[in-house]
Chains A and B, each alone.
Chain A
């Protein structure tokens, strides 16, 4: 997994609540058997004016000029500012894959749907939770200042503005550790293989029907 330590980048504001995973990556792109290449279809229905198909050359498609990621001032953005309950809907990990493939490294929102939140960490994508009023303020600042950037310091759990003011955020210790080191969960779990086997042998005694 990709490491995440500190990151500085342009912020793009996606000003709507309950952004669902169908919106992040529509279903016709879930047919891929690969993990990569979803970036051009991120927010496909919002981003383009036509209906997208898998394996299409997206550079030839008509762009929706009103969509935030199409605006010239947000080109090269790597931090997405969003509203509450971001990533609701399905469990498709294609959603964080698409964000990551597009170049997004972190999201800032007041809240996330559970499965999306969890999936993001597995892909080196950092979903940061800030208070609604801080998020509101960031929306104001981003819209007012072209080229608005933020720096994210994971070690110190801070979102740092260009004027040096910092907003602290909480993060689960284990997830932070894995992101900082770029660790693979499976390898870590297999270090406890004996504990898993021990659990299984006890469980076989009490609930044998689960093993037949």
Chain B
């Protein structure tokens, strides 16, 4: 019999029962909650007179709606009344049901996908779900993690299980070594460009190969985070020494005898050598250059040294129309050089790129320089209060502020513009977030997805530049 993939192992470890039709009841170890997708779930529990199955498996924090400007006035001072109600509703629900919540002004508050790993609330071998598609992030720890809808949030609260079907296995292997100035973000954008935005639909993608092994745990989180942008609900990276080192000593991590026992169990969380994948995609690391998206889907991506494609050269009519529509929306011309795209705003943040290593990467580029005068705003939004504190300890905040950037409080911010941070109509933004959909960062806004280093370099130049040509890089 063939060996098991990492996904097979995680699946088998959490199987409560299999129904006659092949659907399964899967046990959930960690349930993360935020204010946007949970209120209707709590309401559902209340109406049905149900209680959460296992309180201690849940961890909540508000992130999507919270303002990132000064907020010592607390929730009552959130200007937008609907945002305020949503944040308050999360606080009330967590208080009522006894769920641990890092409230808005707790230093541990932040983007839910930054907070989970930072606290050790995400551990190898766990199943982790959250009403947010970027839950795939936690797969960087060899945890089976994916986004769920609000009905499923209610289902997990009530039963600690999910009704689900097994996905297929895909291995994306990145062979060789990444070039200088090429980051985890470039790797995942390149992969999405190769397999397409629906390429991973129905699969759990394991990212492997020499290049993935050489990337830090935080970089792996960036990669798994965007698995969903390739259509895959689940992204995974096998456990290695880096994973175990990262998890060690965090508040929710196992202690003493449990630690030894856990580490032994975690070391098995790799795909067996003879495991069979339904699909294998091989990428050569040397082919990956710094990436920039030019369109309104993450698969509309190219390298910074290239140009915007010409839809007229596309054979598939649906693809051609999509590209034409995207260029119209983006205000770009076919064959325009990527480095000629002028920018209005820069956003460094989001669950994709707001951890300490991302901020270090950006700060290294801007150190001693000034943001171009044509840039209206360059926002730096740390992923959590603890990331913010660490960055300030290292003096990164000063580097950003001296360059003319804004240093904000943690939250999702301009990634999806549910709070006041948003783009104006027609504005181009170099963004370290994950989606360049129409209107995502604000009505009529034009998003270009890039790495933190590329965003920082673009802020200084006022347009895209190849970060490998920048002095500090």
Contacts and interface: CB of A to CB of B under 8 A. Distances in A.
Interface of A: 16-18, 20, 22-23, 26-28, 30-35, 45, 51, 54-55, 83-85, 88-93, 96, 111, 113-115, 118-119, 122-123, 172-174, 185-186, 188-190, 192-193, 195-196, 199-200, 203, 206-212
A210 B30 CA distance: 9
A190 B197 contact: no
Contacts of B321: 16
Nearest to B48: A186
B27 A203 contact: yes
Interface string B203-244: 000000000000000000000000010010100000000000
Contacts of B27: 196, 199-200, 203
A50 to B, nearest CB: 9
Interface in B133-150: 133, 135, 146-150
Contact of A186 (B155, B297, B437): B155
Contact of B147 (A27, A30, A115): A115
Given A31-B83, A189-B25, A195-B17, 19 more contacts: A17-B322, A31-B36, A88-B231, A90-B416, A92-B149, A114-B231, A115-B228, A174-B19, A186-B50, A186-B155, A186-B158, A190-B159, A196-B16, A196-B25, A196-B27, A199-B27, A209-B254, A210-B29, A212-B258
A189 B418 contact: no
The 8 closest A-B pairs by CB, nearest first: A209-B254, A122-B151, A119-B149, A91-B147, A33-B39, A93-B149, A31-B82, A173-B21
A172 B48 CA distance: 27
A172 B166 CA distance: 13
A93 B153 CA distance: 10
Nearest to B150: A93
Contacts of B322: 16-18
A89 B40 contact: no
Nearest to B85: A33
B201 A189 contact: no
Given A17-B318, A190-B159, A22 B150 contact: no
Nearest to B151: A122
A55 B439 CA distance: 19
A18 B316 CA distance: 14
Nearest to B321: A16
Given A122-B149, A189-B159, A32 B16 contact: no
Contact of A207 (B37, B125, B150, B233): B125
Interface string B436-447: 011110011000
A196 B160 contact: yes
Contacts, number: 185
B40 A34 contact: yes
B163 A22 contact: no
A144 B146 CA distance: 42
A113 B228 CA distance: 9
Interface string B278-317: 0000000000000000000100000000000000000000
24 contacts: A20-B297, A22-B435, A23-B437, A26-B439, A28-B418, A31-B82, A84-B198, A89-B133, A90-B416, A91-B133, A92-B149, A111-B201, A115-B148, A115-B149, A122-B149, A174-B19, A174-B163, A192-B16, A195-B17, A196-B16, A196-B25, A200-B160, A206-B265, A208-B258
Contacts of B19: 174
A142 B155 CA distance: 38
A200 B133 CA distance: 26
B318 A31 contact: no
Contacts of B39: 33
Interface in B191-206: 197-198, 201-202
A14 to B, nearest CB: 13
A185 B198 contact: no
Contacts of B433: none
B392 interface: no
Q: Which of B21, B80, B265 has the most CB of A within 10 A?
A: B21
Contacts of A85: 197-198, 201, 231
